[in-house]
Chain A
Amino acid sequence: MTAPPGPQKTLATFHVNGESHEVAFVPHKTLLEVLREEMNLTGTKHGCELGECGACTVQVDGTPVLSCLVLAVDVVGKQVRTVEGLAKGPELTELQHAFADMGAAQCGYCTPGILMTADALLAQNTKPTRDEIKECLAGNLCRCTGYIKIFEAVELAAARCRGEKAEPRKESIHGS
């Protein structure tokens, strides 16, 4: 038996991390699938593919979206940014440095999604409160960290982005 004639592939140009990619793909593919499978951008993760975990978060025109819920065709002509697009060459962003310093990435699987969400927050709000950070990251699940180190890393990065010479609080690192 031959397969029922599947949908034809379409050709489109995507703008991802400042580069153009011309990709042929089946139009029902999600952005997550096209990023990972057609463009080899495997930094973006998946934990459910149902919009429940936030691991697949990327930015579309600066706004965090769940790439497993977005059809790739819908972002044609828009600017997509993934975790691979955060660092400037070998230079990590303050947010990435802060995550490394705080041990906010344990298994690291939720990290790309969380970085993309938090990066969008910091772009809008240079001095977010703990509650604002919590609210913003509530859709990104993490099973390893208990979230505390993540919140602290975002705060640390925000302070450093503001030009403050911020270091982690002693209690966060050594306990009370």
Chain B
Amino acid sequence: MVLDDPSTRAPSAKNDAPWQHDKKKEDLQHIGKPIRKVDARGKVSGLTKYADDLVLPRMLHMKLLRSTVAHAEIVSIDTRKAAALDGVKGILTGKDMPITFGILPVSQDEHALCPDLVRFVGDPVVAIAATEEEIAWNACRLVDVQYREKQTIGGIHEAAATNEPRLHDYGVRGNIHRLENLEFGDMKDGFARAEHVREDTFFFEGNTHLPMEQHATLAHFDKDGKLTVWSSTQTPHYLHRALARVLHPLPAHHIRVIAVTNGGGFGGKSDPFNHEICAAKMSMLTGRPVKIALTREEVFFCHRGRHPVLMRSKMGVTKTGRITALDFESYLDGGAYGSYGTASTFYTGALQTVTYTVENYHFRGARFFTCKAPCGPKRGHGTVQPRFAIEVQLDKIACDLGLDPAQMRLDNLAPRDSLTANFLRIGSMGLGACIEKVVAGSNWKTRRGKREVTKDGRIRGLGLACSSYLSGAGLPIYWNGLPHSGVQLKLDRSGLVTAFCGSTDIGQGSDSVLGWIIGEVLGIDPLGIKVVTGDTDLTPVDLGSYSSRVTLMTGNAAMQAAERARELIAKGVADKLGVPANRLVFSNSRVFDAEDPKKGLTFQEAVIATEARFGTIGTVGSYTPPATAAKFRGGGVGPSPSYSYSATVVEVEVDPLTGVYRVPKIWMAHDIGRALNAAVAMGQIEGGVYMGLGEAMMEEQAYRDRVHKGNRIFVHRIPSMLEYKQPTGLEMPEIVTYVVEDPDKNGPFGAKEVGQGPLLPIMPAVANAVFDAVGVRVDENPVSFEKVFAAMAAKKEGKDARFGPSNGPDGVPDVDFGDSLKIKTPWQGGDGTAWNEPKREKKAAK
């Protein structure tokens, strides 16, 4: 087997667009500089409008009455008393919106209001609009809903063991939503060649995004019979689709969705939500604008956060730690609905291969329906939980083999410009540089394993972990061959450049990315560019702010549109000045002759000359990712135009008596391809580290399971910000950040993602650091103090020095995954198809 045989290298992506990844840093005017974000002024002056800041004349306020039971048939709903209350203007129940919706075409399983079945405490049943918010609340209390309770399904093991009742009448069987079984290469041979094999079981508890802004929506069915919906959404395009579906026969082109600046999203605002559809329907019912602003408790019910995942990983390695075989199982607690769950399931198996070479790989994934708020995508979507498992397991393997965990990783890096066992195409790959940075910065080699004692008697430990993330999903949610992102530019005689794009700024800076790139290409001030985004009436489609896709995809679309404008202007100016177009330079808001810089026009004059010559100026750009190499069923999740890489070293100080630990310092290196804006990239990295630290130490979306008067009460344990623990500024450690730039040819100026990747390695690094300090393993995230204590107690008693799910046969549920799809790896001569795949009917996507 030859892994670096050029024939197995990735064919270079079709790339006829000038993404300028090879531009030298010094030659760039704006890219990479710490210029302000285009929306900075509004945000520091309180003038930026978020959804709940919007008010329209005659606006009604809407509230949702939510289920108080975990699983039940709705026997009756009596809204008469509520309807009679002064000020109540409209009431909706499930029968008013019978059409289902959902983010993925394969799981359109949600109703705007439950018509006959509620599936978790918090499922909405009735919507009421009134002239004042308080009246709407009071009216909700007057509604009488009778339920006939059904068996609660509370978690992974329970769902696996319960065939009846089913929460949904679709899915694989019983309460299994999805089952995946993919086998790459020859597992038998892989394990036969292994010199060391380990099998471990891990659990990652769910957690939530907790954006500071609660979701809010304002809907207005206007005088023209057209609907406008302003919402705190990361995905206006998909909300538009869902509205058009549920509000049928209202034509899609009579619906306008405007994504208002999001007060944080992190994936939590990327589904179309029931409250958004209810507000729209209510506005159509009442003929008045309708607003709903969710309470914090309701945001916990919307959830779509990190899936709780149980994982079993069997890894075979050579003496140097090269992975000859990896057999990975994941069991996801999906909550009550499909949401992104199909993709989440695949993501728990997708990116194991892009950091270190995995020669043979078997992945099995199962997702279950349970009576919890639905899980979905949170920062790092589905790849976070397996990354925890893999990185902790590698640390254990390094220990077993007596290797340095950092060196072992360096020795086995997946090669750049290669295909992985599961046909992901790696381009630029800066993980090696990242590891070297954090190893040097933290003095890893001399400080690890030393168990230094602090003045207050705590024991120090260092833990290392790495990760990778996508720069956007290679395939869209609806497989339709259309661009993933489009940008239109309008240039007018005032010299103004306006960029129209469907992308949505959720705080990551996507509006600014448009400005920086267009400003760079046209040689004008990015802050002078007007950016119009996230409006389905005005802006070309961008699929949304998810999967870290925006910088790369809208960035490339913006670059194409700007290049076209530049070409046109160059022609206009060339004619006017009598200079060949290819000699013109665009810089400092001027267009001038490279050989005689004084000969030139201001940018505004250049636009005027061009408009005079060619008429009104407008250009478009769009972006579609390169075709994926994975052709097997399920190969649609994982491919990306490029992968970012991160490595971290976390330092902990553990109290050997109590297990309480603090994190004084973190070293983080992230391969971003190229930082389009230094300061903003740093902010994304630090924010990712913070959120990862919260997940590692304390955050969990947990449930309270009690019996009361013979009834099982199954409710969210912590639907408030006080109870849902998250780090404050006081807990934030010092962070030493290294920005590693390994430009990728698929990215605008070489840029890769930064919004999600740096979160991923923090949790396993914390677990590994705790081990380094006190010699116990916590195989369950969060690595909370009581788990460290429990593991230390077990160690003292001479038991396994570990806290985590059982490693025995009862540790994971007994699920029949059926036959695997078998795919030959690239180095076995595979072509990306499964050799045993049954023929698929081709269905045209809409």
Contact = CB atoms under 8 A, between A and B. Distances in A.
Contacts of A142: 212, 729
B690 A147 contact: yes
A172 interface: yes
Contact of B210 (A3, A92, A139, A143): A143
Interface stretch (A8-16, A59-67, A80-88, A121-129): A80-88
B729 A105 contact: no
Contacts of A53: 212, 721
B736 A106 contact: no
B441 interface: yes
Interface in A1-38: 1-3, 6, 36
5 contacts: A100-B43, A105-B37, A144-B264, A144-B507, A171-B737
A76 interface: no
Given A103-B682, A106-B683, A146-B687, A135 B45 contact: no
A166 interface: no
- Leading 5 A-B pairs by shortest Cβ distance: A43-B46, A107-B507, A109-B263, A146-B690, A108-B43
B50 A45 contact: yes
B679 A103 contact: yes
Contacts of B730: 134-135, 138
Nearest to B681: A175
Given A48-B720, A173-B682, A101 B36 contact: yes
B34 A173 contact: yes
Given A146-B735, A171-B736, 10 more contacts: A50-B720, A52-B722, A84-B47, A99-B44, A101-B34, A106-B507, A107-B211, A145-B690, A149-B682, A176-B736
B263 A2 contact: no
Given A135-B730, A143-B264, A147-B729, A109 B682 contact: no
B185 interface: no
B592 interface: no
Contacts of A44: 46
Contact of A141 (B37, B47, B721): B721
B627 interface: no
A143 B264 CA distance: 7
Interface string B723-761: 000101110100111110000000000000000000000
B214 interface: yes
Given A147-B732, A148-B732, A47 B44 contact: no
A143 B266 contact: yes
Interface of B: 34, 36-37, 39-50, 52-53, 55, 81, 84-87, 134-135, 138, 209-214, 261-266, 295-296, 441, 506-509, 677-680, 682-691, 720-722, 726, 728-730, 732, 735-739
B45 A146 contact: no
Contacts of B84: 1
A109 B46 contact: no
B212 A107 contact: yes
Nearest to B142: A1
A102 interface: yes
Contacts of B721: 47-48, 50, 52-53, 141
Nearest to B758: A146
A interface residue count range (under 10 / 10 to 19 / 20 to 34 / 35 or more):
35 or more
Most buried by B among A102, A111, A173: A173
Given A107-B211, A144-B687, A145-B686, A1 B679 contact: no
Contacts of B87: 3
Contacts of B680: 103
A174 interface: yes
A142 B319 CA distance: 45
Contacts of B677: 103
Contacts of A86: 45-46
B41 to A, nearest CB: 6
B296 A100 contact: no
A115 B44 CA distance: 8
B700 to A, nearest CB: 16
A137 interface: yes
Contacts of A150: 729
Given A52-B721, A134-B730, A144-B507, A110 B45 contact: no
A42 B53 contact: yes
B739 A92 contact: no
Contacts of A172: 679, 682
Contacts of B138: 3
Interface string A153-176: 000000000000000100111111
Given A3-B85, A107-B212, A176-B737, A146 B44 contact: no
Contacts of B47: 43, 84
A150 B41 CA distance: 15
Given A3-B87, A109-B212, A87 B45 contact: yes
Contacts of B506: 107
B380 to A, nearest CB: 15
Given A47-B721, A92-B44, A107-B261, A168 B736 contact: no
B46 A141 contact: no
B190 to A, nearest CB: 38
